[in-house]
Amino acid sequence: MISENVAVAGDQLSPATPEREQRRHHHHCGTTWLALLVAALAVVLYTLGNNQELVARRLTALLGRTSSGEVVGQRAEPNGLDDFPALPPLADRNRLWPPAIDQPICKPKIYVYDLPPNLRLPEKTVSQCRWSAYNSELLLHRLLTEEPPATSAARGTVPADHPHSSLRTLDPAEADFFFVPLFPACYLFDCWVKAGWKKTERCNVDEGYIQPVMQHIRETHPYWNASGGADHLLVHPMDYVDGYYTEETRAAMNSSTYLVTVGDVRPAPYGSYFRSYRDLVIPSSTHLINSYHVNPRDFVDARGSPLPEPRGAADPKRRLADAALPYPEIFEPSPTDVGLTTRIGRFFRNLFERRSTPERTMLAIFRGGWGEATDGEAYALGIRSLFFPSDGDPSTPPFSTAQHHGFASLPDFDIALWSENDDYALRLAHTKFGLAPPGYTLDTTRLYEYLAFGVVPVFIGTGPTAGQVLPFERDVDWHGMSISIPRDRAHHVPSILRSISAAEYERKRKKVWEEGRRVLLEGREGNVWKLIARQLCRLKRLGVAAGPEIANN
C-alpha cells in the first residue's frame, strides 16, 4: 500500500517533503486556473460563432501584446477613450478642395467671331467631321452658338446657366475673351479622307485656310491687336497641337490661348507642344459617345448600375432618328417609342418578377490595338504588349520579347481589339475598371467612355503621376475617382486591381458617376464650358482678387 505522503514522479516513488508538497499545490492551482481559462475561452468562442477575427482582436486587446511579444500600438475595438466629436462644418466651403464647380469664379463673356462665307469650311466637310476623333473643336463652337437641345419630359430640362445663354455675348465691346471659329483638325480630317489616310498630306492647310482666317481676324477687327491675341481662344484638339503647321502659321496663332486635348509636361521633345503656362486642357470627343451617340443611360440606371436589359432606345436603328442632333445625351435615357401593349407587358413583368439589381461582374475592360512592329516603345510605352498573349517574338503582335499569356486570358478581364458599339456599351455597363494606357501620346479617348458609363479609370503609365495634364485639374479630383499605376508596375495590374477593397472601389465609382461625367462633351448642361470659364477667370484674374496684406510676424 502506498502512503499518502508519497509523490508519484514517472515510474518512481519517492517520499514526500514540505518543498514537494508546496510545488504540488502550486501546480494544482495553476492547472485549475488553466482549465478555467480554457472553459472561458470555449464560452467566448461559442458565443461569437465563427468570427475568429473578432476573437483574435479581443484576445490581442486583452493581452496587450502580439504573439511575438511586440506591444500592439492600436486598439482593435473602441473603448470610449478613442471616441471624439466630429468637427463642425466650415463656414466657408471654399477653404476645401475640390471646389463646388456650380459656383462660378466669375462670369466671363465670350464673343464668337462670325467669319465670311469664303473663310468657312463647307457644310459637307463639317458634317463629315462628326466621325473624327478630333471634333471637339466643332462641339465647343456649337455649345456657344446654337440653342441647347429642346426640352421634353423624357429628356429633362436644360439648366439656366447653359453656356449659350450665360457665357456668349453678341457685343464684342463687353467681351472678356474672343473665340476664333477655326477648325484645322476638321480641315485635315477631310484632307486625309480624300488622300486615303495618308497623314503626311496637308492639302494647303496653312496658306489656304489658317493664315487667311488669322489675317481676317487681325485686320478686320481691333480686338486681336488690342491684346496681342492674349484674350483669344483657338481649339487644337489633335495629338501634336499646332505641330502640323508651318512656322509662319504657328507664329500667327502663338500669342493666343489654345484649348488642347493633350497635356504633356514630360521633357522635350515629348512635352514640347504643350504650353503649360497658357494652354487649357479639354476632354477629347469619342466615337462611341460623340459620333455614334450611344447613350450610357440606355444601359445603366440613374445610380450608374447596369440595367437588367438595355432600354429599347439602345437599338442602333432607333438612334438613326437622332443622327442629325449635334450633341450626345448622357444624363437622361433616350425616349423610347413603344406601344401600349409593350408598356403593359413590362409593367406586369416588373411587378411579378423580383429582379435584383445586376452588378458589375467584370473586373477590367480594354478595347484597342498594339501599334506596329516598328513602333517599339514609342507606342504605348510598350505597355499594351502585356494585354495580349505573346510568343516572345518581337516581330509579331503584341511585339513583346517576353512569352506570356496576357491579361486577355484572365476570365475577369475583357480585352479585345474592338467590339461593335452597342456590344461595347453593354460590356462597359457591367465592368468595374477601365484600362487607360497611352497610345502615341499620353491622352486616350477611352477615359471619357469610362466616365460616361460609370467605369473607374485605371491610368497605366499615364495620368498625373506620368506627366499627363488632365482636363481641369484645378477643379476636378481625378485622384479620387481613378487608379494610377506607373509603367514599372504595369505587370502587376491584375493583382493591384484585385487588392482594392469593395469600399474603396465604391467610393471611386460613386465619384466617377457624380463628378466624372460632368467633364464630358455633351450638350444638355454644357459643363465643359463652365469648367473652361473657371480657368479663363484665373487667366485674367477675373473674380480672383489679390489676397489680403499679411502683417509681418
pLDDT in tens, 483-523: 999 999 999 999 999 999 999 999 999 999 999 999 999 98
DSSP string covering 44-70, please? HHHHHTT-HHHHHHHHHHHH-B-TTSP
Q: Report the alpha-carbon distance of residue 466 to residue 459 in Å, rounded.
A: 9
Same-domain pairing of 271 and 293: no
CATH code for the domain in which residue 512 is found: 3.40.50
C-alpha cell at 251: 507664329
Q: Report the predicted TM-score, pTM, of the whole model to 2 decimal places.
A: 0.81
Contact criterion met (CB below 8 Å) for 319 and 311:
no
Query: In this predicted structure, what is the pLDDT of residue 78?
Result: 60
What does DSSP say about strands 257-260 and 232-236: parallel, antiparallel, or unpaired?
parallel
Query: In this predicted structure, what is the pLDDT of residue 456?
Result: 99
Mapping DSSP to helix (H, G, I), strand (E, B) and coil, where does residue 110 land?
strand
Q: How far is CA 329 from each of CA 117, 325, 365, rounded to the nearest angstrom?
A: 31, 10, 23
Counting as low any pLDDT under 50, the low residues of the chain are 1-16, 45-46, 48-50, 52-56, 59-73, 75, 152-154, 321
Q: Report the alpha-carbon distance of residue 9 to residue 11 in Å, rounded.
A: 6
Instruction: Report the domain count for the chain.
Output: 2
Asked whether the CA dihedral 517, 520, 525, 531 is positive or negative, the reply is: positive
The answer to whether position 9 is within a domain reads no
The answer to whether position 1 is within a domain reads no
Same-domain pairing of 253 and 335: no
Same-domain pairing of 184 and 299: no
Q: Report the alpha-carbon distance of residue 125 to residue 188 in Å, rounded.
A: 10
SS percent in the chain: helix, strand, coil, step 5 = 40, 10, 50
The answer to whether position 408 is within a domain reads yes
Query: In this predicted structure, what is the pLDDT of residue 249?
Result: 97
In which domain, by residue range, is 395 found? 288-519
Mapping DSSP to helix (H, G, I), strand (E, B) and coil, where does residue 95 land?
helix
Q: Report the alpha-carbon distance of residue 473 to residue 97 in Å, rounded.
A: 11
Query: In this predicted structure, what is the pLDDT of residue 102?
Result: 87
The answer to whether position 78 is within a domain reads no
Q: Report the alpha-carbon distance of residue 477 to residue 317 in Å, rounded.
A: 37
Same-domain pairing of 490 and 347: yes
Query: In this predicted structure, what is the pLDDT of residue 156?
Result: 56
* Element spanning 250, H or E: helix 247-253
Same-domain pairing of 235 and 300: no
The amino acid at 80: G
Same-domain pairing of 279 and 415: no
Same-domain pairing of 348 and 367: yes
What is the average pLDDT value for the chain, to the nearest integer? 84
Same-domain pairing of 389 and 504: yes
Query: In this predicted structure, what is the pLDDT of residue 524?
Result: 86
CB atoms within 10 A of CB 403: 10
Order the strands of the 110-112 sheet from edge to edge. 168-169, 110-112, 177-179, 232-236, 257-260, 280-281
The answer to whether position 310 is within a domain reads yes
Q: Find out whether the peptide bond into 269 is cis, omega within 30 degrees of 0.
A: yes
Same-domain pairing of 190 and 339: no
Beta-bridge mates of residue 235 = 259
- Among residues 232, 226, 227, which one has the least CA distance to residue 256? 232
The answer to whether position 27 is within a domain reads no
Q: Report the alpha-carbon distance of residue 77 to residue 66 in Å, rounded.
A: 15
Query: In this predicted structure, what is the pLDDT of residue 50?
Result: 47
Same-domain pairing of 390 and 475: yes
The amino acid at 13: L
Query: In this predicted structure, what is the pLDDT of residue 346?
Result: 56
Query: In this predicted structure, what is the pLDDT of residue 37?
Result: 60
Same-domain pairing of 179 and 328: no
The answer to whether position 38 is within a domain reads no
Same-domain pairing of 266 and 319: no
What does DSSP say about strands 390-391 and 456-460: parallel, antiparallel, or unpaired?
unpaired
The answer to whether position 327 is within a domain reads yes
